[in-house]
Structure 1
Amino acid sequence: MFAISLGDDGAQLRPLEPWQAAEFLAHMDRARGLVDPWIPFAAAATDLDSARALLRRYADKQAADTGRIHGIWLDGTLVGGVLFRVFEAESGTCEIGVWLEPAGQGRGLVNRASRRLIDWAFDVRGMRRVEWRASAANTRSTAAAERLGMTREGVLRQAYLHHGVRHDEEIWAVLAEEWRARR
């Protein structure tokens, strides 16, 4: 397995794999309060079997070249992650997603890890567009997209159903030529 340094603070980006289900579940238990209000990701990993199944789904997506999941470790502890929820190599479009537990907040980890994935998508895989989708009420997520230099393209009104509540969904994106020009 490989690890990519995210800076001088001991932060690393690594693949998340099914054999790490117990560590992932412990992390999700710590992150659940921050993640669950916005996305069903935390609710999909509530015990060891469901955590393993979620990681297996992403292992299958990676094998099919339709998605990937990576963890963010800080001083050896899994504190968050970034993923390509959607990865459509043929069309050149992908969607990045992120999450953190409280111990990872305020350190720029989402920004640093997202930049690594976006660089890879554009420079290595030749993607043309990276999207970021979030509930309009999730201001931390939309602020992260803005810090990455993404453009808010629009709002899909009441498009996202979560916990029985309809949310407006914001769509942010950056194009390959924009990303390269900003670097």
Structure 2
Amino acid sequence: MTEDVTPTPVATTSIDQPIGEIVENWTPRLHPLANPQYHTLQETHFTYLPYGPFKTIDEFKELINLKELSSSNTILYSIQVNDIAVGFNALACINQEHGTIEIGHENFSAQLLRTRSATEANYLLLHYAFDILGYRRVQWRCNALNVKSWRAALRLGFQYEGTWIKAEVCNGRSRDNAWFSIIDDEWVQLKQEFQRWLNSENFDSNGQQLTKLNAAQINPRSNEKMDKTSRI
């Protein structure tokens, strides 16, 4: 015999439809996303970017809509792991005539930072720019005070080229831009190193790397700089 689990109605409508009881003095509760750490997390992610933090999702959507305009010369990419968006980056400053392009707008969540997927996200953009689109130069530009971005560029094999002093005014503050690049002549060796490091055999069962990425040391330009320094 099947148990009857139908709730007993406490009232009915004017057309005899069963309804629940009235909840006196009820006001909707806060959405779980409205947590006290929200603004702190926002600020840490947008300190060195020319936009944000955002008060609402709609504000963030407005930025995406602006960046999707052809006049912005930017192509944004959502980085997804297990079908969950955990960050974004972009190809920007696209110069088809001279074959130069920039990886920028990097914004990785805590779930993505220092993971295999984070490195792979940048490798895929490099591969796309050099191997598919045929660009000659991929550059990386960051606020010279952004130490994390500086270190990330060097780890990926980008070579430091110099700093432009007072290059911009962002959010009312003076900004110096540090410039880095990888060129097509260097990509063949760097690509092999990325593929070696990204191979599943280079990671244990917990996803931890067994060997480090040596792109910075493998880049021929880096070795050339060392040779020049030793001759001084």
Q: Alignment identity in percent?
A: 25
| Structure 2 match to 1:84 | 91
| Structure 2 match to 1:93 | 100
Cα gap change, 1:32/1:40 in structure 2, threshold over 3 Å: closer, same or farther?
Answer: farther
Q: Which has the higher contact order (CA 8 A, sep 6+)?
A: 1
1:124 Cα deviation from its structure 2 partner: 1.1
3-state SS of 1:42 partner: coil
Question: Residue 69 of structure 1 is aligned with which of 51, 76, 80?
Answer: 76
1:139 Cα deviation from its structure 2 partner: 1.0
Question: Residue 42 of structure 1 is aligned with which of 48, 52, 63?
Answer: 52
Preserved CA contact (<8 Å) 1:134 1:142: yes
1:46 Cα deviation from its structure 2 partner: 4.0
| 1:7-54, Cα deviation, whole Å (9 max, x unpaired) | xxxxxxxxxxxxxxxxxxxxx9796222221012334x5434433332
TM (normalized to structure 2)? 0.59
Q: For residues 160 and 35 of structure 1, what CA distance do their matches in structure 2 show?
A: 20
Q: How many residues align?
A: 153
Cα gap change, 1:146/1:58 in structure 2, threshold over 3 Å: closer, same or farther?
Answer: same
Q: Which amino acid aligns with 2:110?
A: P
Q: For residues 93 and 46 of structure 1, what CA distance do their matches in structure 2 show?
A: 35
The answer to whether 1:179 aligns with 2:187 is yes
Q: For residues 108 and 51 of structure 2, what CA distance do their matches in structure 1 show?
A: 12
Cα gap change, 1:41/1:65 in structure 2, threshold over 3 Å: closer, same or farther?
Answer: closer
The answer to whether 1:60 aligns with 2:93 is no
1:136 Cα deviation from its structure 2 partner: 1.5
Unmatched runs of 5 consecutive residues or more in structure 1 = 1-27
Q: Which moved more, 1:106-115 or 1:144-153?
A: 106-115
1:85 Cα deviation from its structure 2 partner: 2.3
Q: For residues 35 and 161 of structure 1, what CA distance do their matches in structure 2 show?
A: 19
Runs of 4+ in 1 over 6 A off after TM superposition: none
1:96 Cα deviation from its structure 2 partner: 0.7
Preserved CA contact (<8 Å) 2:79 2:88: yes
1:99 Cα deviation from its structure 2 partner: 1.2
Cα-Cα RMSD? 2.4
Q: For residues 86 and 159 of structure 2, what CA distance do their matches in structure 1 show?
A: 27
| 1:140-170, Cα deviation, whole Å (9 max, x unpaired) | 1011111111110000112232333223210
Unmatched runs of 5 consecutive residues or more in structure 2 = 1-37, 192-232
Cα gap change, 1:65/1:35 in structure 2, threshold over 3 Å: closer, same or farther?
Answer: closer
Cα gap change, 1:108/1:30 in structure 2, threshold over 3 Å: closer, same or farther?
Answer: farther
Matches within 5 A, 1:109-120: 109-120=117-128
| Structure 1 match to 2:143 | 135
